[in-house]
Chains A and B, each alone.
Chain A
Amino acid sequence: MTVTAFSGVVLAISALAGFLGALTGLGGGVVVTPVLTLLLGVDIHYAMGASLVSVIATSSGAAAAYVKEGFSNVRAGMLLEIATTAGAVGGAHLASVVPAEGLAIVFGAVLLYSAWHSMTPMAAQHAHAGDPLAARFKLNGSYPAEGGAEEYTVTNVKGGFSLMVVAGLLSGLLGIGSGAMKVVAMDQVMKIPFKVSTATSNFMIGVTAAASAGIYLRHGYIHPGLAMPVMLGVLGGSLLGARQLHGANVRVLRKLFAVVIAVMAVEMVYSGVTGGLR
């Protein structure tokens, strides 16, 4: 394929991925790498580099909208970013020693988890005892709700922090945002309200990805010729998708997208096991 034709195809696929990712809340970056590697035969390292860049674009691009809603917990986000950035640096270094087949298998497993995660409703939050650490680090907060501000207390800070190290590690290892795992760490482990968790996760994703970016640049994973259509496509698609959010039948779409992700997950694992990448 010529560079122009290839860039056009990648732009269109990335725009669709960004659009569906924003509409379903699953994030578009997660399907970019499997599509590039499985369908277009791109080397997994270049695909991961382009995906990482698009993750930063959607995170920073959506920040203004999230801030306007006033849900994010800035202090919890910053404290947990110590965990995610440290994990991401480790993961990005690890990516340079793990063989491509190994990366594909781990990638497939993570994809399978996100597909499963998006299909199962999260457990409802129960009353819980506050964590003294949460008070010490000023993590308890409030968010705007219908009858005025709703207060919440945070628990299991150590557990959430540990899971954030893993989320960061996977983000750096695979060039993804790890948004789903970040939300689980805050919502399910630390019992931070779901809306606050997703808003906080969005701004953590960009900072986490930036921590891997330097190492990706150094190892030559970020090829500007490939990152260009991916970044422009995912960004454009996700901005459009965020606007369409109201009125669309998201539940059906979410299921459909989860199935697509699951199929790609199996393909990724298969190609990794058989060495069929490239």
Chain B
Amino acid sequence: MTDSKLEQIMGNLLRAGVMLAAAVVLAGGIWYLAANGGSIENYRTFHGQHGTMPWTQGLSAPLATIQIGLLLLIATPVARVVFSVAAFGVEHDRMYVIITLIVLAILSYSLLAS
């Protein structure tokens, strides 16, 4: 398989991931508005509650659904990096396997360390 072919597949996968994430966010959003649409919004003051994995704790079911969609969205670029490790591996490009793993380590630190 050629480089550009691999990239093409990845590009399509990324778009599919974004569309899936958007669909989940939309579904959660409609549910949220149906349940809470009449209440008064309040984003003026920051509550700054510290969340923990898996980031859906303390959320109502509709908001948790939106959050899952957002997590899917955040996962799409991460998936691209994971895919790149494999792609460079197939090409026996050891230097870029290591470089990509460093990027993946930084992403893991942000997303998983707490």
Contacts and interface: CB of A to CB of B under 8 A. Distances in A.
A2 interface: yes
A35 B15 CA distance: 27
A59 B80 CA distance: 12
Given A218-B50, A219-B50, A227 B11 contact: no
Given A214-B112, A228-B32, A59 B37 contact: no
Interface of A: 1-4, 6-7, 40-46, 53, 56-57, 59-61, 63-68, 70, 72, 74-75, 78-79, 81-82, 85-86, 88-89, 92, 100, 137-138, 203, 206-207, 209-215, 217-220, 222-229, 231-232, 235, 278
Contacts of B25: 227-228, 231-232
Interface string B45-82: 11111111001000100011011001001101110110
B22 A2 contact: no
A231 B100 CA distance: 28
A244 B106 CA distance: 37
Contacts of B50: 218-220
A63 B11 contact: yes
A6 B103 CA distance: 38
A78 B50 CA distance: 31
Contact of B80 (A75, A203, A228): A203
Contact of A64 (B12, B22, B78): B12
Contacts of A209: 77
Q: Interface size bucket, B side? A: 35 or more
Contacts of B48: 45, 219-220
Interface of B: 3-4, 7-8, 10-12, 14-15, 17-18, 21-22, 25-26, 28-29, 32-33, 36-41, 43-52, 55, 59, 63-64, 66-67, 70, 73-74, 76-78, 80-81, 84, 93, 95-96, 99-100, 102-103, 106-107, 109-114
Nearest to A41: B44
19 contacts: A7-B37, A41-B43, A43-B44, A45-B46, A45-B48, A56-B73, A56-B76, A56-B77, A59-B77, A60-B17, A138-B96, A203-B80, A206-B80, A210-B77, A217-B51, A224-B66, A225-B32, A231-B70, A231-B73
Contacts of B3: 74
Given A43-B46, A235-B22, 4 more contacts: A40-B43, A56-B74, A57-B22, A228-B32
Given A56-B73, A213-B110, A218 B38 contact: no
A181 to B, nearest CB: 18
Nearest to B78: A210
Given A43-B46, A57-B21, A218-B114, A224 B77 contact: no
B14 A278 contact: no
Contacts of B10: 63, 67
A4 B38 contact: yes
A228 B36 CA distance: 14
A224 B67 contact: yes
Contacts of A1: 40-41
B8 A68 contact: yes
A56 B71 CA distance: 11
A229 B28 CA distance: 11
A124 to B, nearest CB: 29
